[in-house]
């Protein structure tokens, strides 16, 4: 087999076989295929697409390029979720303890965040002592004992995907649905869960801003999962405004804690319950409707919050911060953004809200960049809320970095007008 022939085959819009795709991935991972040939292949996929079977074979080939976790020693059905990323997305922090309190086995391996805020791991590390590094044996033991673990991904998970993504980033081939879907699913499949719920964000604060494109991505990822023998469902959730009220690492952890106590923002709770009900159903614990009732009970009776304490304790975190959120380090300055006219919050440019958080130091520009866990933004008003002149729309939690840039960006990102608009939170479900 020659890479040149396979590039030409995909250039001519012909379907590649499983063996041909495995050859491409193995050869590129082993540096037997140069970047310029892989770039040509990626561009051919970008223009011609892939069948569902090709996308599945690509995901599986990338999955087998590195470590694949065998979670068969964990009792019962293992569940996981994935989000395509959004501003204020702290769903995992609530979801993991909540579904575990219902009896599900939530085995989650996360990556670090690049961009406007930290990822799940960065948020958890704002809890002093929380250890994101567990070996496979300890990970399995913890999930068996308390039903939940959230750790960092192995450095050797899907190395082919890491190389290919870096190349896509500099060759204009990132926005290809087959390549996006196979990239995401290769990591999810390598993590070993039996049932996965995908939270695909759509809107002006999401990677996919167009609903039809988001549906295509969700449908393909679900099909890849099913063809690979997993239970996979997807929900499409709106990202035309931040999820919840808080954006930033410690601030989002505090909001997640309040949600687990039953006092969280309704939009965050809605997404958590929707994802959670599918995972509980696929774990064989209850039907979707009964699962929804069960999840709400665990929020109300304190069992979900207690499960968070178990999780943090098991991974070395200081549980006193969970019990008393005032212990989290605070930003040195809180700067309000004041409404200068009367009306309703008509819309937000959510991607710019994320950018403002990054200016403050809530995110990182490079993999080894430093995050300030205390900084961020807390909203007092969201889309559809009425504001009067002088009302506080949001508060900027800042230390010394990026205050002017963040303030000016946020001022332009909030749009006040005469219309009372509503946000449809759940845009669709793919099963």
Task: Kindly list the catalytic residues.
Answer: 82, 161, 168, 183, 187
The backbone torsions φ and ψ at residue 223, rounded to the nearest 5 degrees and listed phi first, read -65, -40
Distance, C-alpha 221 to centroid of its chain: 15
Q: For residues 233 and 430, is the Cβ–Cβ distance under 8 A?
A: yes
Name 74's Cβ contacts closer than 8 Å, sequence gap at least 6. Answer: 105, 107, 140, 143, 144
Token pair of 218 as six digits: 């969700």
d(CA 77, CA 52): 26
d(CA 60, CA 182): 8
- Paired strand residues for 395: 336, 378
> Parallel, antiparallel, or unpaired for β 426-430 and 78-83?
unpaired
Token pair of 338 as six digits: 């004041």
Q: For residues 334 and 173, is the Cβ–Cβ distance under 8 A?
A: no
Nearest to 183 by CA among 199, 169, 196, 165: 165
Token pair of 370 as six digits: 């430093």
């Amino acid at each position: 087999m020659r890479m040149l022939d396979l590039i030409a085959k995909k250039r001519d819009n012909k379907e590649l076989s499983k063996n041909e795709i495995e050859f491409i991935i193995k050869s590129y991972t082993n540096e037997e295929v140069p970047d310029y040939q892989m770039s040509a292949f990626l561009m051919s996929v970008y223009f011609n697409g892939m069948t569902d079977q090709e996308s599945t074979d690509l995901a599986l080939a990338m999955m087998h390029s590195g470590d694949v976790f065998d979670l068969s020693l964990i009792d019962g059905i293992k569940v996981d979720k994935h989000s395509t990323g959004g501003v204020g997305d702290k769903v995992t922090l609530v979801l993991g303890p909540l579904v575990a309190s219902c009896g599900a086995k939530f085995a989650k391996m996360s990556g670090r965040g690049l961009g406007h805020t930290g990822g799940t791991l960065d948020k958890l590390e704002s809890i002093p002592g929380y250890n994101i590094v567990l070996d496979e044996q300890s990970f399995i033991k913890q999930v068996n004992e308390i039903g939940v673990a959230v750790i960092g991904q192995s450095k050797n998970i899907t190395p082919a995907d890491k190389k290919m993504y870096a190349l896509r980033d500099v060759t204009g081939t990132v926005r290809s649905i087959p390549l996006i879907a196979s990239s995401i699913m290769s990591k999810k499949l390598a993590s070993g869960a039996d049932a996965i719920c995908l939270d695909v964000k759509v809107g002006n604060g999401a990677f996919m801003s167009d609903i039809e494109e988001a549906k295509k991505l969700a449908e393909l990822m679900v099909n890849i999962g099913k063809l690979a023998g997993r239970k996979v469902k997807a929900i499409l959730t709106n990202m035309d405004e931040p999820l919840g009220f808080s954006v930033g690492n410690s601030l989002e952890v505090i909001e997640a804690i309040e949600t687990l106590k039953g006092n969280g923002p309704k939009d965050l709770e809605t997404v958590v319950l929707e994802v959670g009900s599918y995972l509980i159903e696929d774990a064989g614990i209850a039907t979707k409707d009964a699962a929804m009732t069960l999840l709400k009970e665990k929020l109300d009776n304190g069992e979900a919050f207690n499960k968070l304490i178990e999780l943090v304790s098991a991974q070395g975190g200081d549980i006193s911060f969970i019990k008393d959120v005032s212990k989290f380090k605070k930003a040195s300055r809180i700067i309000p953004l004041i409404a200068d006219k009367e009306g309703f919050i008509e819309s937000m440019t959510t991607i710019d809200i994320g950018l403002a958080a990054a200016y403050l130091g809530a995110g990182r520009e490079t993999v080894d960049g430093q995050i300030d866990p205390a900084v961020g933004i807390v909203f007092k008003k969201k889309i559809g809320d009425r504001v009067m002149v002088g009302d506080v729309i949001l508060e900027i939690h800042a230390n010394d970095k990026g205050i002017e840039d963040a303030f000016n960006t946020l001022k332009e990102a909030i749009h006040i007008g005469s219309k009372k608009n509503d946000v449809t939170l759940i845009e669709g479900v793919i099963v």
